[in-house]
Structure 1
Amino acid sequence: MKNAIKALVVDDERFSREELIYLLKPYESIQIIGEADSGDEAVMKSIQLQPDVIFLDVEMPKMNGMEVAASLQELKKVPAIIFATAYPDFAVEAFRHEAVDYLLKPYDEEQLGDAITRLKKKLKPQEPEFYSKTKPSKLAVEGDEDIHYLDPADIMFVYREDRVTKIVEKEKDYETKWTLKEVEQRLKGFPFFRIHKSYLVNLDYVDRLTPWFNGAYQLELRGKKEKLSVSRNYVKDLRKQLEL
């Protein structure tokens, strides 16, 4: 994992550590290099392993997460911190320690994806603009044995189901480890629009929008029989994007 972000997961509850490590596995940019079940061990392993980021619980016996964060400021290499806790009360104090993010348990995959995106921006600043002029034109999707390069113009919609993101073309579907948020970021510059927290649609394929119930709509795509639900929160902006 060359150039991967090295992460240390700290939580006094084993199952919480295991859950977070499981949710982080799909992110190839994150390498779990260790775990700690107490504040003291977190500081010791930070010195030994020199992680780039620590996913840090707040409520721990003896030395809590805030005290750990303060101690880490004394290190030669200060890791980024993403607090991961069941308690919302410490959020203000967390950001005084310049935390990248503050995740609440039970974990939300979209929020975790946002946190990883912020972490990447903090640790790996974007290249100068002259590098980005040759924008890639294909979306790379890794299969079990190969990599598919998809033309965004051929993608009809993308959706998230059972912790898997699925990419739908006219004739074939693909699965990816990326979150829907990550796919949305990669497709920026192409005519994709979020119609629901779990759906992203290529506007070039939109054929019909019909009222459904309770302010929601159904969307029909050219070449597809199935109808997609449009959340009422997205209807107004969707119509602005579609209509002259």
Structure 2
Amino acid sequence: MRVFIAEDDVRSRRMLRHMIEHVPGYEVMGEAKDGEELIAGVLREKPDTVLVDIDMPLLNGMEAVKACKRLQPDLQVIFTTGHKEYAIEAFRVHAIDYIVKPIERDRLYAALEHSAQLLRSRQPIGKSMMIKQHQQMIFVPLEEILFIERAERKAVIHTVQRKYELNEALAKLEDTLDARFVSSHRSYLINLEALERIETAGQHYKAYFKNYTEAAKISKHKLAELQKYKAM
């Protein structure tokens, strides 16, 4: 995977290059110390992924990324920054991750692996859900979410790889989702595109998903509605 680094601090650039070059399959194509150099580097090198600091001279990282995305819409962006307050804006430009400094090696590798998986599958970068976990902002593509359940006062987001817990109401999360997600039960939202089968379970039904053992509940009065959606 071709990676480009945009960071105004020379020591941070060296650290990032050092960490990336020790991982097979990743190649650092170039570096930039400001936003204008980032744009020129993306035009010249056509990287798959850029690691971008936000607070850079001449043109900040956020504005430079917006320009880069106009030139190369499929460019994957990972922000590496000391600022937490730009996470919402990063979400709007479809960044695949937002890492707050100091950068941990495992955290960086996880973001790069996510980028590599998208590249291998040639999967376009679509809408994501922004999740705050341990002072970090994680962007989870909606297509990876199987279902969301209410558990006590928390919302649990189920993906094949892991679960995420949020202190959010289901109704509030539903506003951030698209038409593929529907309410199957007062405590569940399910991704119809990921639904594999429905089985009876006493007074209700269970929804099962590919490559995942846990199931979501479907209430009787929601079953007909789900069947209608699946038939569309």
Distance 1:69 1:58 in 2: 9
Distance 1:91 1:33 in 2: 26
Distance 1:35 1:45 in 2: 8
For residue 67 of structure 1, the aligned residue among 63, 69, 78 is 63
Matched, 1:120 2:112: no
Which amino acid in the other structure matches residue 87 of structure 2?
A
Distance 1:94 1:25 in 2: 26
For residue 31 of structure 1, the aligned residue among 27, 33, 36 is 27
Q: Which one has a larger percent strand, Structure 1 or Structure 2?
A: 2
Unpaired stretches in structure 2, ≥5 consecutive residues:
123-160, 162-232
Distance 2:92 2:38 in 1: 19
Which amino acid in the other structure matches residue 115 of structure 2?
L
Which amino acid in the other structure matches residue 5 of structure 2?
V
Q: How many residues were matched structurally?
A: 124
Asked whether the equivalents of residues 72 and 78 of structure 1 are also in contact (C-alpha less than 8 Å), the reply is no
Instruction: Report matched runs for 1:92-103 at 5 Å.
Output: 92-103=88-99
Shift in CA distance, 90/76, structure 1 to aligned 2, threshold 3 Å? closer
- Root-mean-square deviation (CA), in Å? 1.9
Distance 1:69 1:118 in 2: 19
Report the counterpart of residue 175 of structure 2 in structure 1: none
Which amino acid in the other structure matches residue 54 of structure 1?
V
Shift in CA distance, 29/87, structure 1 to aligned 2, threshold 3 Å? same
Matched, 1:88 2:71: no
Shift in CA distance, 39/122, structure 1 to aligned 2, threshold 3 Å? same
Instruction: Report matched runs for 1:178-217 at 5 Å.
Output: none
Q: CA deviation at 1:50?
A: 0.6
Distance 2:104 2:72 in 1: 33
For residue 14 of structure 1, the aligned residue among 10, 26, 31 is 10
Matched, 1:106 2:138: no
Deviations 1:161-209 (A, max 9, x none): xxxxxxxxxxxxxxxxxxxxxxxxxxx9xxxxxxxxxxxxxxxxxxxxx
Asked whether the equivalents of residues 53 and 79 of structure 1 are also in contact (C-alpha less than 8 Å), the reply is yes
Q: Normalising by structure 2, what TM-score?
A: 0.50
Asked whether the equivalents of residues 50 and 77 of structure 1 are also in contact (C-alpha less than 8 Å), the reply is no
Which amino acid in the other structure matches residue 62 of structure 1?
L
Report the counterpart of residue 40 of structure 1 in structure 2: 36
Unpaired stretches in structure 1, ≥5 consecutive residues:
127-187, 189-244
Which amino acid in the other structure matches residue 38 of structure 1?
D
SS of the residue corresponding to residue 107 of structure 1 reads coil
Distance 1:120 1:36 in 2: 22
How many percent identity over aligned positions?
28
SS of the residue corresponding to residue 70 of structure 2 reads coil
Shift in CA distance, 76/58, structure 1 to aligned 2, threshold 3 Å? closer
Which amino acid in the other structure matches residue 100 of structure 1?
I
Q: Which has the larger radius of gyration?
A: 1
Structure 1 stretch 113-122 or stretch 45-54: which is displaced more? 113-122
Q: CA deviation at 1:121?
A: 1.7
Q: CA deviation at 1:47?
A: 0.4
Report the counterpart of residue 53 of structure 2 in structure 1: 57
Distance 1:87 1:65 in 2: 12
Asked whether the equivalents of residues 6 and 33 of structure 1 are also in contact (C-alpha less than 8 Å), the reply is yes
Distance 1:7 1:116 in 2: 9
Which amino acid in the other structure matches residue 64 of structure 2?
V
Runs (4 or more) in structure 1 with deviation over 3 Å come to none
Q: Normalising by structure 1, what TM-score?
A: 0.48
